Amino acid sequence: MGDLLIERPRGDRPTFVRAARSVRILTGGRVSRRSRHGSDDGPQRRGPTRAESRRERSSEYREGPLPVDAVQAIGLTKVYRRGRQEMHALDGVTVSIQRGRFTAIMGPSGSGKSTLLHCLAGLDTPTSGQVLLGATDLTRLSEGRLTRLRRDRVGVIFQSYNLLPQLTVRQNIMLPVEVAGRQVDHTWFDTVLGVLDLGDLLRQRPEQLSGGQQQRVAVARALLPRPDVVFADEPTGALDGPTAREMLRFLRASVEHLGQTVVMVTHDPLAAEHTDRVLLLNEGRVVGQILDPTAHLVLDVLADLNGALVTVAAPGRHGVPAPRSARHA
């Protein structure tokens, strides 16, 4: 197993999530701090005109330089109540997702993986805390403005593809852009098709495609609006081995060749091997991360989640040796 660096929790929380006003990130053993970015979205309004919507997208949502982090969660909690019982799906999660990187979220069943992804994507509302997409605080937006933000800045890939059977591949891919009333950037459209190798399938309908081809269409549909982040919830869960590997190669290609930010929930260590970083959740808390993951490293760490903050790097990577007391054979 590679070098294992452990930072013990203080009290009952890992130090990774203990600060409310900053995010601490361990990268190869080095600790850096990033101040929380946020913006006041002003008073909530209902029923904006089309002109107002365009101004919001071009100014409020895109104004200023892009933050280093594509999306952040700060002190995020999610509590489900059934009668008098409470279930804490997320318990004070603070984490940052770097722009232009491929990040996996992993952990045991019931650890809060999908809940975290849905909150980061604006698909679910946290009980408390903040979610920042760039500099926009999703928790301050009205439902209408949140819907427009998801349409313009968030791409989602579901396990079930969600393609419309009556539409061709071309029509399925273009649907989100056309629904938003925007012009399709045909140069970008051709680039996405080239990376995902879909050029020969544009006139076919979903029932004429294999599972892997349908999933690539779903990826293209998520990429075409040029979202800030693409969120993928178990995208390989329903695929056979070769098709799953093909899917992961295309997600990897979208990061390396298109500069896309991708966040993926997965149970599969082989899927995690395609990512730059694995975030580890347990009992609704971030308990560690794996940098430059391999399947063997992921398997070993998942087998021994113990509530400490763990940073794992493959041997020889990042140039930072582990303390002697923290090394494992």
Q: pLDDT, tens digit, for every residue of 74-127? A: 999 999 998 888 999 999 999 999 999 999 999 988 899 999 999 999 999 999
- Give 47-72 pLDDT, tens digit per residue: 444 444 433 443 333 444 556 799 99
Q: Please state the rounded mean pLDDT for residues 11-31.
A: 33
Residues counted in the chain: 329
Is the model's pLDDT at 322 over the cut of 70? Answer: no
Output the pLDDT for position 93: 96
Q: Are strands 30-35 and 22-27 parallel, antiparallel or unpaired?
A: antiparallel
Q: Which CATH architecture has domain 3-13+99-111+142-313?
A: 3-Layer(aba) Sandwich (3.40)
The pTM of the full predicted model, rounded to 2 decimals, is: 0.72
Q: Hey, which bits of 199-261 come out as E strands? A: 229-233
Write a three-state SS string for 268-284.
Answer: CHHHHCCCCEEEEEECC
Output the pLDDT for position 271: 93
Quote the Cα angle for 284-3-23, to 5°: 40
- Give 94-109 pLDDT, tens digit per residue: 999 999 999 999 998 8
Query: Cα–Cα distances in Å, from 30 out to 39, 105, 297?
Result: 29, 21, 20
Q: CB count, 10 Å around CB of 245?
A: 16
Cβ proximity of 103 and 264 under 8 Å: yes
Residue ranges of domains in the chain: 3-13+99-111+142-313
Output the pLDDT for position 175: 93
Please report which confidence band the pLDDT of residue 314 belongs to, taking 50, 70 and 90 as the band edges: low
Q: Hey, which bits of 227-318 come out as E strands? A: 229-233, 262-265, 277-282, 285-291, 309-313
